[in-house]
Amino acid sequence: MSEKIKYAVMVSGGGTNLQAIIDAQAAGKIPHGELALVLSNVPDAYALERAKKAGIPAVAITKKGFTDHEAYEEEMIRQLDAAGIEFIVLAGFLAILSEDFVKHYERRMINIHPSLIPSFCGEGFYGLKVHEAALAKGVKVSGATVHFVNEIPDGGEIILQKAVRVFRNDTPEKLQLRIMKQAEWKLLPRATELCCKELAKAKAKKKK
């Protein structure tokens, strides 16, 4: 077995996608990765509780107390570096990250989006707003996408996608839950393993 890649999950809310990753990690489905840190920008995010229950180090870093956004992001990077983080999974992290931060983790940071990109994505499309827009348009199929993060919101290269059927009587909440169960909770752990495996290979090559 090659060396594991230490990764962090960054999250703002309840952490259902984080839980999917924790469960996949426990089941041995992410053999090339080690979940070493959960970072939230919301101090009372339930995701932090999920991390603690699983014995994973967790930290909340809020913008309060920082003079500017640059100082805030520098502290995030400091905490990530201190934990030895090599790869980042954004799982419902709702704060905007600067171009400098994104470039610092180029091709080492992924995000899950609850639609089939390029539909219903980009600035302003998050959470229930994505599903509200999909239903308003009358689409028959929606889904989820895991992609690399670049400086354009939801603009990075697509890694995995999964389609999910939309029903006539769907509400945004019903559609959101179906997409989580059928797509998000399956795709994100799979993409995490794919990326960790590639990074581990690259790391091993450098050591030769």
* Domains detected in the chain: 5-207 (3.40.50.170)
Catalytic residue among 32, 113, 131, 147: 113
**DSSP, res 12:** S
Q: What is the mean pLDDT of residues 173-185?
A: 98
Name, in order, each residue with C-beta under 8 angstroms of 128's C-beta and a sequence gap of 6 or more. Answer: 172, 173, 176
Q: Specify the range with the lowest mean pLDDT, choosing from 95-99, 116-120, 195-199.
A: 95-99
Instruction: Answer yes or no: is pLDDT of 96 > 90.
Output: no
Whether the pLDDT of residue 1 is over 80: the answer is no
Burial class (CB within 10 angstroms; exposed 0-12, middle 13-18, buried 19+) of 205: exposed
Tens of pLDDT, residues 131-144: 999 999 999 999 99
Cβ atoms 154, 111 nearer than 8 A: yes
Q: Cα–Cα distance between 20 and 85 in angstroms, integer?
A: 20
Q: What is the Cα–Cα distance from 158 to 167, expressed in whole angstroms?
A: 26
Given a cut of 90, whether residue 31 has pLDDT beyond it is yes
Q: 119: exposed, middle or buried (C-beta count within 10 Å: 0-12, 13-18, 19+)?
A: middle
CA distance 27 to 21: 10
Is 113 assigned a catalytic role? yes
Q: Using one digit for the tens of pLDDT, what is the confidence trace for 61-88?
A: 998 879 899 999 999 999 999 999 999 9
